[in-house]
Amino acid sequence: MTRHESRCEAFCLLFEYSFGGDAGEIMANAVEYREDVISGFARQLFTGAVEHLSEIDEKIGAYAEKRAISRIARVPLSCLRLAAYELMFTETPAEIVVNEALDICREYNCDDSVPFVNGILGSIKSCKDGG
């Protein structure tokens, strides 16, 4: 499984998590009922994002241009959560994280959210870089 495929899997898990439920059950059900393959990298991204969700949502909310987290559609929100986790808590180069997030937005038919996601991730990246 490629890193992009792993990110897509983590995105799908985060999307499902956005409806509520237990992270462990969501992963177990994905494997058992959908026969999904969850790589170690996908598991790390999903569980890391869930563990740091309050910090991630706080950061997203700070840059969401007066838009409450609850008003962001689930697809772009799941992309943002995944990418924000990587930007904030891993050493993955920011350019890769942002490009992957925008690709995932496009793959899941959320083209109209690409500028919004790009803007927020750019702000989070800039904050991490000290700017």
Domains in the chain, ordered, with CATH? Answer: 3-128 (1.10.940.10)
| pLDDT score recorded for residue 4 | 96
Question: What's the mean per-residue pLDDT of the chain?
Answer: 93
Q: What is the DSSP code string of 58-114?
A: HHHHHHSTT--GGGS-HHHHHHHHHHHHHHHHS-S-HHHHHHHHHHHHHHTT-GGGH
- What is the tens place of the pLDDT at every residue in 25-67? 999 999 999 888 899 999 999 999 999 999 999 999 999 988 8
